[in-house]
Structure 1
Amino acid sequence: MPEQPVGGVDIATVAQQLDTAWEQRLPIAPLSERMALTPEQAYAIQSHWTELRLARGERVIGRKIGLTSRAIQQQMGVNEPDYGSLWASRHFPTTGGRVEVPADLFLQARVEGELAFLIGRPLREPGVTLHDVLAATDAIAAAIEIVDSRIADWRIKLVDTIADNASYGGFALGPWSRALRHADLRTVGMLLHHNGEPAVQGVGAAALGHPARAVAWLANKLIAFGIHLEPGDIVLSGSLGPAIPVRAGDLFTLEMHGQPPLSMRFV
């Protein structure tokens, strides 16, 4: 990983600031307000931060895609998504479709409902398509993603969220379904309940028009950085609706076409 400043930005120092914010749960001022960062530099910060965590025993078990909504892209002035790594320490396994998550792990958590892909064959050649992704996918699952920001008050621009591991907080998965590979994922419906009340509705088309298209974007982006999606990787393909802020005691239940409910309670 780069130890020297890149384009005038001290990659290692900024990565350490984010790591300290994660560990101590104390937000930092927006990077975009303190320095001129390019997306490439922001990805270098993200990568260095991951290396810091790997050195302490963390594992990367997949990737997450953010900014898949056209409305959010327009709001942030970008024309493509971003991505981050899924750190195993924040994968919350479920029991009987339920999981309890410590609320105090996070700074300013929000939850989203989406589809997760389990990669079964490597995607290593440039020009990955939606159909390549479906052919390489072993199974698909409903997922609740926790997004969180080390940036104070969510005052983020593109480079802030990229550097901050795409605002990764954690995630939980429903059971893997091979049948979902054959569904029209554009029209797969989602209903996210908040404390027993319907809160967010969405469909698969919210993720770049098709969740597998979002995964294809990711595969091609990773290839450009010399990284590849490999068998066993989990990919969170992007939110199907707006994120909901979290408070201790909140219960979220995700219902998705043909899948058992997935519930997450913050304790």
Structure 2
Amino acid sequence: MDQQKIEQYGEELYQAFVSRRAVAPLLSREPDISIEDAYRIQEQFVARRLAAGEKIIGKKIGATSKPVQEFLGVYQPDFGMLTSGMVFAEGDTIDLGQMIQPKAEAELAFVLKHDLKGPGITAMDVIRATDYVLPCFEIVDSRISNWQIKIQDTVADNASCGVFVLGKTKGDPRKLDITLAGMVLEKNGELFSTGVGAAVQGSPANAVAWLANTLGELGIPFKAGEVILSGSQSALVPVTDGDELVCSVGGLGSCRVKFAGRSTV
């Protein structure tokens, strides 16, 4: 795909983000689009957000668990960039009016104390480089109509990044078994789903190592202080006005988030 089209689709996705209006799947219009093309479009999309004043504060891994893969029809992991405009703290209420078609997923966030650059990074290297882990929610949001995405669409759309909410309880991954620790997700006081760290590529640390190595091959390091979202341990949760979600991780603590307003779709 030539540079003109890369810039065209990156701008289209940015305008969809700003206007909160979804666009037709890119793959339906460009059947030959490659994964590499899609990441170049993502780069353009993110660059527009940075030009508007945001900063990159971390990275995310997407499509790591079977429930999410089955819902999206995407069967390989991808990644996106987290920006300063995406982060919420526990106790904040998320305004759904700022989103198009949001869905929530519960996962583990890693906050780094050291830089980390692949290739050659192992799960143990990830643990050593991590300052602490937190329970969190990622609220994914697709700029592609009706979530009709293939891997190229979600990659171009910055891995369907919406916003994310970090819990307040910090855990040491050297003392917490993040692979076997169970996660319980409740919606409006009722059990919605259960999960475990092993559902994410065998361990959340494995997923973070995969991303460190994938980005390392592109010359992109993890930096100290960055937040790395390791991938969903739950099914995707539709959210509407008044909903409240709580995810609890065994041995670590919980994260709570509330929603208000109405999304575009």
What is the TM-score of this pair, normalised by structure 2?
Answer: 0.93
Deviation, 1:73, is 4.7
Q: Deviations over 1:214-260 (max 9, x none)?
A: 00000011111110101011000000021111111111111111233
Q: Is the 8 A contact 1:108 1:246 kept in 2?
A: no
Q: Give the corresponding residue for 1:76.
A: 73
Q: 1:180 to 1:73 in 2, by over 3 A?
A: same
2:250 is equivalent to residue 254 of structure 1: no
Deviations 1:91-124 (A, max 9, x none): 0122xxx221101111110001000001111112
Shift of 1:180: 3.7
Of the three residues 85, 107, 111, the one matched with 2:104 is 111
**Aligned-partner Cα distance in 2 for 1:44–1:11:** 7
| Residue matched to 2:193 | 200
Q: CA deviation at 1:72?
A: 4.9
Offset of residue 125 of structure 1: 3.9
Contact 2:118 2:217 in 1 (8 A): no
Q: Distance in 1 between matches of 2:170 and 2:254?
A: 13
Corresponding residue number in structure 1 for 2:21? 26
Question: Secondary structure of the equivalent of 2:154?
Answer: helix
What SS does the corresponding residue of 1:62 show, helix, strand or coil?
Answer: strand
**Number of the residue aligned with 1:90:** 86
Residues 1:54 and 2:47 are matched in the alignment: no
> In the alignment, is the contact (CA less than 8 A) between 1:64 and 1:235 conserved in 2?
yes
User: Structure 1 residue aligned with 2:8, among 13, 20, 44?
Assistant: 13
> What is the correspondence of 1:216-227 to structure 2 with a 5 Å cutoff?
216-227=209-220
8 Å CA contact 1:65–1:214 kept in 2: the answer is yes
Q: 1:127 to 1:50 in 2, by over 3 A?
A: same
Distance 1:71 1:109, change over 3 A: closer
- SS of the residue 1:192 aligns to: strand
Give the whole-Å Cα distance in 2 for the aligned partners of 1:55 and 1:262.
31
After alignment, is 233-242 or 182-191 more displaced?
A: 182-191
Report the residue type matching 1:76 in the other structure.
G
Output aligned runs, 1:209-220, within 5 Å: 209-220=202-213
Question: Partner amino acid for 2:151?
Answer: L
Question: Per the alignment, in what secondary structure is the counterpart of residue 135 of structure 1?
Answer: helix
1:71 and 1:108 map into 2 onto residues whose CA distance is: 18
Secondary structure of the structure 2 residue equivalent to 1:187: coil
Between the aligned partners of 2:127 and 2:214, the Cα distance in structure 1 is 17
Change (3 A) 1:59 1:241: same
Distance 2:99 2:62 in 1: 18
Q: Is the CA contact 1:143–1:173 (under 8 Å) kept in the aligned structure 2?
A: yes
**Counterpart for residue 239 of structure 1:** 232
**Retained in 2: the 8 A contact 1:130–1:213?**
yes
**Does the 8 A contact of 1:16 with 1:49 survive in 2?**
yes
Q: Name the counterpart of 2:36.
A: 40
Question: Would you say 1:160 and 2:153 are equivalent positions?
Answer: yes
Q: Is the 8 A contact 1:91 1:172 kept in 2?
A: yes
User: 2 CA distance for matches of 1:124 and 1:179?
Assistant: 21
Deviation at 1:261, TM superposition (A): 2.8
Matches of 1:176 and 1:46, distance apart in 2: 32
TM-superposed CA distance for 1:139, in Å, is 0.5
Contact 1:140 1:181 in 2 (8 A): no
Structure 1 segments unaligned to the other structure (5+ residues):
none
Alpha-carbon separation, structure 1, partners of 2:94 and 2:158: 20
Identity %: 40
Instruction: Tell me if the contact between 2:118 and 2:214 (Cα under 8 Å) persists in the aligned partners.
Output: no
Give the gaps of 5 or more residues in structure 2. Answer: 261-265
Q: Does the aligned pair in 2 maintain the 1:194–1:250 contact within 8 Å?
A: yes
Equivalenced residue count is 258
What amino acid is the match of 1:239?
A: S
Q: 1:251 to 1:146 in 2, by over 3 A?
A: same
